[in-house]
Amino acid sequence: MPGTGPFLWLMKHAPPSGFQQLPPGGMCVCAYLFVTRDGRILLGKYADDPQWEALAGLDPDRRQNHGKGWTVPATHLKLGEDPRTAARRVGEEALGIHGLRYSEPRSE
């Protein structure tokens, strides 16, 4: 995965505790940021911009594949990064929105 991570990517030869088997191709851990106001949620599309490699680990092929539909703001977690830090990185660096109130992360 290109970018200025290092982003966390767990491969089959290093499965995390509690996993029986990883999906084909490994597993990537992401943080999604749900920005809401007045009962609405912020959605967007990926611009075909090389900056996404540094911000979220998205190479050109992945940007084109994911850029076809709507998405919530998200990023891959960098190695050792707290999900709270990743969410703030999305809000401030990718979206340019400062002063958001962040709730505690949920794992589902």
CA distances from 106 to 12, 34, 79 (A): 25, 11, 19
Amino acid at 97: I
Burial class (CB in 10 A: 0-12, 13-18, 19+), 57: buried
5 confidence band (pLDDT: 50, 70, 90):
low
pLDDT single digits (tens) 21-77: 666 766 678 889 999 999 999 998 877 777 777 776 777 887 777 777 888 898 888
What does pTM read for this prediction? 0.65
pLDDT at 100 over 70: yes
